[in-house]
Amino acid sequence: MQRLLRHRLLWPFVTLALLLAVNAVFNPGFWQLQWRDGHLYGSVIDILNRAAPLALVALGMTLVIATRGIDISVGAVVAIAAAVAALMIGGELVVKDGVQTHVSRFPMGVAIAAALVVAALCGLWNGLLVAKVGMQPIIATLILMVAGRGIAQLLTGGQIITVYYAPFFFLGNGFLLGLPFAVFIAAAVWGVLHWLMTRTALGLFIQAIGINPAAARLAGLQERLITVCVYVFCGFAAGVAGLVISSNVKSADGNNAGMLMELDAILAVTLGGTLLTGGRFSLAGSVLGALIIQTLTSTIYSIGVPPEINMVVKAAVVFVVMLMQSAEFRAALRGWVVRPAAAGGAR
């Protein structure tokens, strides 16, 4: 019990459970799942599906933050990856065997690979600026945050590019075994990372670099190489998220895709209990964080908070959650609650 109470994922879990409970109260149909056309439908499934891209971005961000860095360009990378994929797939209308069909401009596999390579290159750029040039991570990635949005707009010509090629929609809208395919993508990425962190020494290395880069280098870690790789992975994860998002909305919007997603991702990582000062990190925590954010967003819509104040409500909830995660605050709170009670007992 003591161990459970001290578990680092306790508070994210409690938060998520509370949010789900609030939903269940306001919306009796919240937990209802329907089986239609071989798929599961319901609010919870919806939340899972929508949280998947954010969870992907947050996973990449977790590793970057663990190395004492930060990557605020992920939103722009999402837009770039979406634009590259949408451009290369397109979906021209052709008549084949007397039937009108949409075909991909390039094979879909090539288009997806190209989008992911471009996203990874974005990460490489960030990583080189941070690890080789020695820029502060927030400044280094600020460059791509601004420039990347511009690149995405150049690619799309400032327009929203619509995709007509149906197979591509599977990434963001398809179902596998009754569950949204995007959930499987996020789960697979998490699984690979989890394996890397527990079965290889990468987790130890990333923590050591985040806690004390000088000592890590002296101990023989290739700390620059590992840092670069972490940024490359972060870019790659953002690219995957970009594919899922553009597939989901069947288009690529250079202006708005992934807008402010970097902030949600950082928030998800923090909600999951990873400190921005680097070092110890929790991948599962970041996934929980992403689920919390998505549940919160859904809750605000579903309980009918007027749109003009929903940002404020979201901010207030996040503020309270952050406070509750702080051990110092909880100790202070216990002091306020317990002390008057004890005084009352003495009287």
Partner 1 sequence: MTAELVLEARGLTRRFTGVLALSGVDFRLFAGEVHALMGQNGAGKSTLIKVLTGVHPPDAGELRLGGEPIQPGSPAAAQRLGISTVYQEVNLCPNLTVAENIFAGRYPRKSAAGLWRIDWARMQRDARALLARLNLSIDVTRLLSSYPVAVQQMVAIARALSVEAKVLILDEPTSSLDEQEVERLFTVLRQLRDEGMAILFVTHFLEQMYAVSDRITVLRNGERVGEYLKAELPPAALITAMVGRALSAAAGRNDSAAAAAGETLLEARGIGRRGQLNPVDLALRRGEVVGVGGLLGSGRTELARLLFGLDRADSGELRVGGEHLRFDNPAQAIRHGLAMCPEERKFDGIVAELSVRENIALALQARMGIFNCLSEARQKELADRFVQALGIKTADIDTPIALLSGGNQQKVVLARWLATAPKLLILDEPTRGIDVAAKQEIMNQILSLARDGLGVLFISSEMDEVVRVADRIVVMRDRSKVGELPGNSSEQAVYHLIAAEA
Among 154, 219, 320, 323, binds partner 1 (CB under 8 A): 219
Query: Per 3-state DSSP, what percentage of the chain is helix, strand, and coil (rounded to 5)?
Result: 70, 5, 20
By the rule CB under 8 A, 214 interacts with partner 1: yes
Identity of the residue, 211 or 318, whose beta carbon is nearer to partner 1 in the bound complex? 211
Minimum CB separation of residue 274 from partner 1 in Å reads 13
Report the half-sphere exposure of 328 (CA within 13 A, side-chain side). Answer: 1
Contact code string over 162-201 relative to partner 1, x by CB under 8 A: -------------------------------------xxx
CB neighbourhood size of 234 (10 A): 32
By the rule CB under 8 A, 222 interacts with partner 1: yes
Identity of the residue, 217 or 250, whose beta carbon is nearer to partner 1 in the bound complex? 217
By the rule CB under 8 A, 102 interacts with partner 1: no
Cα–Cα distance for residue pair 277/68, rounded to 1 Å: 6
Cα–Cα distance for residue pair 35/41, rounded to 1 Å: 6
By the rule CB under 8 A, 134 interacts with partner 1: no
Cα–Cα distance for residue pair 151/143, rounded to 1 Å: 12
Structure tokens at 154: 């150049």
Beta strands in the chain (DSSP E): 34-36, 39-41, 92-96, 99-103, 160-162, 175-176, 179-180, 251-253
Pairing of strands 179-180, 99-103: unpaired
Among 40, 117, 128, 211, binds partner 1 (CB under 8 A): 211
Identity of the residue, 229 or 317, whose beta carbon is nearer to partner 1 in the bound complex? 229
Contact code string over 255-284 relative to partner 1, x by CB under 8 A: ------------------------xx----
By the rule CB under 8 A, 65 interacts with partner 1: no
Minimum CB separation of residue 25 from partner 1 in Å reads 40
- Amino acid sitting at position 91: G
Only segment of 127-135, 172-180, 207-215, 321-329 that touches partner 1 (CB under 8 A) = 207-215
Give which of 168, 65, 32 is closest to 74, Cα–Cα: 65
By the rule CB under 8 A, 215 interacts with partner 1: yes
By the rule CB under 8 A, 8 interacts with partner 1: no
Cα–Cα distance for residue pair 214/196, rounded to 1 Å: 23
What does the binding site for partner 1 look like in residue numbers (CB under 8 A)?
A: 199-202, 204-205, 207-208, 211-212, 214-222, 279-280
